[in-house]
Chain A
Amino acid sequence: MSSLKNKEKVQATKYWRSYEQLAETPEFKKLLHREFPEGASEFTDPIGRRKFMSLMGASMALAGLAGCRRPVEKIVPYVKAPEEIIPGVPKYYATTLTLATSAYGVLVESHEGRPTKIEGNELHPSTRGRANALLQAEILNLYDPDRSKFVLNAGARKTWDDFAAFWAGQYEKYTANGGAGLAVLAESFTSPTLSRLKKQFQRTFPKARWVTYESVSDENIYEGVRIATGKALLPKYHFDKASVVLSLDADFLQTESESIHNNKSFADSRRITSEHDSMSRLYVVEPVFSITGSMADHRLSLQARQIGAFTAALALELKKQGLRLDTSGLGGYAQHDFDKKWLAAVAEDLRSAAGKALVVAGRRQPAAVHALVYAINKALGAAGKTVSWYEPVDKTLPDRKATMALIDDMARGAVSTLFILGGNPAYDAPSASRFAAAMRKVENSIHLSSHVNETSSRATWHLPRTHGLEQWGDARATDGTVSVVQPLILPLYGAFSDIEVVNFLSTNTHETAHALVRKTMKKAVPATSTDKGWRKILHDGLAEKTGLSAKAPAVRASAISRALSSQPFAKDKATDKNPELVFATSASVYDGRYANNGWLQELPDPVTKIAWDNAALMNRKTAEALGVANRQIITLARGDKSARFPVWILPGVAENTIVLEVGYGRTSAGRVGDNVGFDVSPLRTSDSWDFTTGVQVIASNESWMIANTQDHNVMEGRPIVREATLEEYRHEPNFAPEMVEYPTVPGPDGKPKLFSLWEDHTYESGNQWGMSIDLNVCTGCNACTIACQSENNIPIVGKEQVHNGREMHWMRMDRYFVSEDEENLDEPQMVHQPMACQHCEMAPCEQVCPVAATVHDKEGLNVMTYNRCIGTRYCSNNCPYKVRRFNFFNYTKETPEVVKMAMNPDVTVRFRGVMEKCTYCLQRINEAKIVAKREGRELKDGDVVTACQQTCPTDAIVFGNINDPDSRVTKLKKQNRDYALLAELNVRPRTTYLAKIRNPNPALVTGEKTEHV
């Protein structure tokens, strides 16, 4: 049988085992022996058990605010009910949320004036109807009960008028002296209005300084392009047009800018419908295991410091193979010790795919790498095809050097008034403690911030800042497309937007943000001068045809070689005596700004599966060399600064590299984010910003409780995520369903079906819901998990409960490591599998429920009756996929009143003691049915879109009626890669998976095994 070979292969494959089992660490041994004592601590401290939950109840003061708050410019009092509002029927508004220089067009669901869910805007070029985890979690940020509510002066509660009076004096002083001693430290933004107001500010105060600062930014990227071309440009990648992609430390699917667009276009280049299709090839060279690395066909783990030299060696190799590339100044990198075969094969592949090739470098890499990558991309003919560069119009770009200079000036006392526009430099500036100290030398420091954070508490004035969904504004996407920010709700706590404040600073008069934005828009988009035009842009969320034209200036090779000679790439490797420290953006809390967001804190990292923490990630060899074990606390010392971290052993991290995620260890984030994880800022100074060496590792004998949602990382040889190479797939197109053999009989449709002892119930009429998940394009980005959490009112349970294995996510992301052989245990491949209720036709959960609380409906849904459930948990025990979630406690009991506003009114909030699980978004099915009925038509394909499907940036999830032969899901299920997980149990899941295909380079597969550096 053709499947046999594959099956043997799968079984022969040695899967990477959990390190704790491999290493027989004390932690693991302790685990074995602590069967009984665990929980003794619980007895003495019943509060600590659910720290998060009890903290959630700390403030209930906002109960009165949960009413209906509509944006003031559009609001009509309910004396006359507005025509369009039907209670219970949500409205959708287009707006834009910005993150640093990125703008994401979104569509926000609003229930009676209460925004509840964020989706992507189909029209917007950065989202195209999709969203990521961070974007969706903004809804919880809006309703964060810890947001600042008052103007503060030296900690005392004041009013805006008090501040206005204060500023009037300052304004007089600084207009007189031209702004000497006045400085603004702002987050970077992408807004025509703010850009205009900034210019206005600079005209009013010509001697004032405006410094832009971000903890995580694309600074290295545009600085690199500036070296190469003389102009700072921001790239936008078109992976869909690329057939060969090389990523140099670029996690473009998760933590880099434009991740939604990247996911979507990358998936488009990987999507196949049959064995005759072709797909792109991805090479990844990185020091950290990222989800981008998990999608790689070939992955090389390399220390971050070596990537520069690798890029140089690649340029030389490309040149050697005949690419027209000026490599002057790279001579010193010819003698490299990288895997020559690997390098040559990659170069060959890139070169032969010229015009369809793309090299992407990550923001962590120094500017010179980006300069070189720009030159390579130009030479490969990528410009305008697989990558477009755009001018940063209406954007302010962060500048670390200027920030450092400002801090110096502050320390010298040269700054008398400092206005901090957002951000949290006292926490995340280079040497944050130095910034905090320098703030004390500044006479007046004013911080506009959504929270009273580490910086606010040190500032003399604090002004509450609006959330993106509470303000008027505008934005430009990377490609320049103009969009409008319209408020969904009045500011919950009387806060002020950046636009209003900056305008006030430079004019000393109030003007509403709405008026200011319209003024800008009239110029930028003339169509908006009419009411109709303005309404159209509000409706669409963006102004059509406002994109910029891409630029691709010529390469200045001499400038690149000058930059390289002034700051050459490291040629040596970090050793275990002098390991490398790499700072990574957190996939959950970004740079720390999402630290008080419970959804994101509880979202397991897509690679480590750690929730509620960051850790010092390193591979097993490094840990062995350093003599440290998993969960052991180590002190990392650099110079006179040091910080403590728990160790987490992760395969795929480059040897002698220690990875630290930024954004944790906040001390003034709020009830959720305070003291979660460990702060990297003592180690992250301006000279060690992205990665560094010279770190001393001191092991302690303490260990740290790390909550991770997946203890076991291997598939144990089981055909769970089924995978083949494109070559294998072409030879055996049916490898996926044939990987498991079981007795079959011919089914009604001719397809073999599992033998059954009785006559099966047929689901032949009406809508029969089913889902298809394409593992080939799923990147494991976690967007679906948060979409589901937001849609279905899934509670947050806190670190301790996650540690106890009680996380509530209906949609979880399983992640397995796969190694071809023993030697590669430390360099495994990674696969992802979204896992939610499979809606089995013969659901094992239903049969065992004593009270019939979980039953089947006639459309093939496995439905839960919460009211009927008594919580025996038998259904969960009998679920082979373990997708059922039990409310062990009343997790929503202490939800603050304001957070309840984020709840979806169409979905029941579950009480303790009941089981819950994915419903296939039953509320959306019913909503679609009602709409169809009202319109007097049948449901058609695409009417029902589940939350996970809607947000999935790779379109990996497709839902629909499997009885409809023309529906997308039916067609996907007919593909030969389609397989039902655990089909041999005869449970007949309605969710099936499309097997994963990798596309390795034949030149690297047929020969000897690749050797890793």
Chain B
Amino acid sequence: METAVKSSVDVKAHGAQLIDGNQTFHSVTEKISQITEAGTPKMWYVGFGISVLLLLMGFSMIGYLIWEGTGIWGLNNPVGWGWAIVNFVWWVGIGHAGTLISAILFLFRQRWRTSINRFAEAMTIFAVMCAGLFPAIHVGRIWMAYYMFPLPNQMAMWPNFRSPLLWDVFAVSTYFTVSLLFWYVGLVPDLATLRDRAKSMFRKKIMGIFSLGWRGGNRQWQHYELAYLLLAGLATPLVLSVHSIVSTDFATSILPGWHTTIFPPYFVAGAIFSGFAMVMTLGIIARKIFNLEEFITIKHLERMNIIMLLTGMMVGYAYSCEFFIAWYSGNEYETFTFMNRAFGPYAWAYWTMIFCNVVVPQAFWFKKLRTNIPFMFVATILINIGMWFERFVIVATSLSRDFLPSSWDYYSPTVFDVGIYVGSFGLFFTMFFLFIRFLPFISMTEVKGVLPQADPHNYKH
């Protein structure tokens, strides 16, 4: 098979082989296809069952929410946004890693991405689905939410194009569409492989439909690769734009703690940070369960740890920059907001965030720790907790104490805030379990492309 990428970079130039275990094209196909073809492991049923239960709980709570109103959450007058928006931003953030790994690393010819890009993209899609859930359900009149879309109507009313929430609608839906297309296009050759290996008629039909008549011909490869490149090019600015736009939900407001120009880059860095952490968490579990240590090697994990160290320091820089600007601006409201974050009633959330996002990644300066799988597993979970708290700190502390002290109030979530968040994990993992069971969660095509055999010069000694 041809290489997926007409690479000018010699694989060995990176100083190491990307895939371990002396794999051949055949062994790659076998190992990865086999996961979707063999019998379902018992553990899969357990995991899927739990996920579905959580999903059902989350959706029944959403049903109750729609029936009763957003009052079942802990929101109050100064704090009009709570967990729902925190979760939205958090999930969107997680949704960043997939496209970043797929598109940007693809464009930068970071070929080590091949082992992780498929499930990172899948994770992106599922995370964006979870994210998209929250803005939809957090509105007071969900049955009127279509007002957000620029649909022709008898009132001759457009939505308000000045509102960042509207930008969100476009940004997130575009991102989702492009990510989905990108993921699907990447899947086509692998689906064809599965089709060709299929034993049952039904499977053959399904795979046949979704592989869009892929035959692996030269012209098809040419078109495919161009399409993939174009989509990567399209997706790349989106990686930066989505979270920049999400950040404008806050940055364009006049609320101290939200009204700041640092937000777009800071949010993008944070999104990459949390996205990588999630890819790591999932990857470490998946490689263990499906014995894919040869595909997702310690080198992959180490590189991702280095990216997390970098982005973690970027968010750390942003945190300190916010404090500096608050002081430097001389704006008493701004100054108060940041002092209040660190020392006010939500200080516990702030320091949790600092510990998880700034202190924990520093461990990755040490090779021992960044190649230690149990440690990095815990660290990635901590980072995701920290990134959730980052959004919580931004949303809740700023709102709970703004300009007039008379309206200050403390916000605490109710069981429904927590339940729907947990339910979104149910959605995420349900999708993810279905994905790893029925689709090749490592791209066979691309992995083959980075095997030494794929290099035409490989055999020249």
Contacts and interface: CB of A to CB of B under 8 A. Distances in A.
A844 B404 contact: no
Interface in B136-159: 138-142, 144-145, 147-148, 157-159
Interface stretch (A161-169, A170-178, A679-687, A880-888): A880-888
Interface string A884-928: 011111100000000000000000000111110000000000000
A869 B77 contact: no
29 contacts: A38-B412, A39-B74, A712-B406, A712-B408, A718-B404, A718-B405, A801-B71, A804-B76, A805-B79, A806-B71, A814-B404, A847-B252, A848-B165, A849-B160, A850-B147, A852-B160, A852-B163, A869-B140, A870-B142, A870-B144, A871-B70, A872-B165, A873-B140, A874-B163, A876-B80, A877-B81, A877-B399, A888-B69, A913-B139
A851 interface: yes
A816 B405 CA distance: 9
B415 A869 contact: no
A39 B75 contact: no
A738 B206 CA distance: 74
Contacts of B68: 889
A852 B34 CA distance: 54
B140 A40 contact: no
B345 interface: yes
Interface string A840-857: 000010011111100000
Interface of A is mostly: loop
B265 to A, nearest CB: 22
B140 A870 contact: yes
Contacts of B402: 880, 882
Most chain A CB inside 10 Å of its own CB: which residue of B80, B165, B333, B417: B80
Interface stretch (A29-37, A194-202, A992-1000): A29-37
A850 B255 contact: no
Contacts of A835: 404, 406
A716 B405 contact: yes
B141 A871 contact: yes
Given A39-B414, A712-B405, A874 B255 contact: no
Nearest to A854: B160
B304 to A, nearest CB: 31
A890 to B, nearest CB: 6
Contacts of A852: 157-160, 163
A796 to B, nearest CB: 14
B69 A887 contact: yes
Contacts of A805: 76-79, 409
Contacts of B71: 801, 806, 888-889, 912
A42 interface: yes
Contacts of B74: 38-39, 804
A711 B140 contact: no
A49 B401 CA distance: 25
Interface in B395-453: 399, 401-410, 412-418
Given A39-B416, A851-B148, A878-B253, A886 B163 contact: no
Contacts of A815: 406
Contacts of A36: 412-413, 418
B377 interface: no
B416 to A, nearest CB: 7
Contact of B415 (A43, A712, A886): A43
A39 B78 contact: no
B25 interface: no
Contact of B404 (A881, A915, A987): A881
Contacts of B348: 32-33, 35
B384 to A, nearest CB: 17
Looking at A39, A833, A912, the one whose CB has the most chain B CB atoms below 10 A away is: A39
A886 B76 CA distance: 9
A716 B403 CA distance: 10
A323 interface: no
B416 A878 contact: no
Given A871-B70, A873-B81, A35 B139 contact: no
B254 interface: yes
A93 B212 CA distance: 80
B336 interface: yes
A844 B169 CA distance: 20
B10 interface: no
A272 interface: no
Given A40-B415, A888-B75, A982-B403, A871 B139 contact: yes
Interface of B: 68-72, 74-81, 138-142, 144-145, 147-148, 157-160, 162-166, 169, 249, 252-255, 332-333, 336, 345, 348-349, 399, 401-410, 412-418
Contacts of B414: 38-39, 42-43
Contact of B147 (A801, A812, A851): A851
Interface residues of A, number: 66
A985 interface: yes
B141 A914 contact: yes
Given A31-B345, A849-B160, A880-B403, A872 B139 contact: yes
Contact of B159 (A720, A850, A869, A912): A850
Q: Which of B253, B407, B418 has the most CB of A within 10 A?
A: B407
A42 B333 CA distance: 35
Contacts of B76: 804-806
A872 to B, nearest CB: 5
Contact of B254 (A804, A844, A876, A888): A844
A851 B160 contact: yes
A715 interface: yes
A710 interface: yes
Contact of A39 (B77, B142, B401, B417): B417
B211 to A, nearest CB: 40
Contacts of A876: 77, 80
A881 B254 contact: no
Given A712-B405, A814-B404, A874-B253, 15 more contacts: A31-B345, A38-B412, A38-B413, A42-B414, A713-B405, A718-B404, A720-B404, A852-B160, A873-B75, A873-B81, A881-B404, A888-B70, A912-B69, A985-B403, A987-B254
Contacts of B158: 852
Residue from B77, B81, B401 whose CB has the most chain A CB atoms within 10 Å: B77
Contacts of A882: 77-78, 402-404, 407
B255 A878 contact: yes
B409 A847 contact: no
Nearest to B411: A805
A33 B352 CA distance: 13
A852 B415 CA distance: 32
Contact of A718 (B72, B77, B332, B409): B332
B147 A870 contact: yes
Contact of A878 (B144, B159, B254, B401): B254
A717 interface: yes
A849 B169 CA distance: 13
Given A835-B406, A881-B403, A872 B160 contact: no
Nearest to A882: B407
A886 B160 CA distance: 20
A849 B336 contact: no
A816 B71 CA distance: 28
Q: Which residue, of B140, B333, B403, has the highest number of chain A Cβ atoms within 10 A?
A: B140
B389 to A, nearest CB: 11
A874 B165 contact: yes
For B69, B138, B157, B255, the residue with the greatest tally of chain A CB atoms inside 10 Å of its CB is B69
B69 A913 contact: yes
A714 interface: yes
Contacts of B412: 34-36, 38-39
Interface string A711-732: 1111111101000000000000
A848 B404 contact: no
B92 to A, nearest CB: 16
Given A848-B164, A874-B165, A876-B80, A814 B406 contact: yes
Contacts of A881: 403-404, 407
A849 B157 CA distance: 13
Nearest to B419: A43
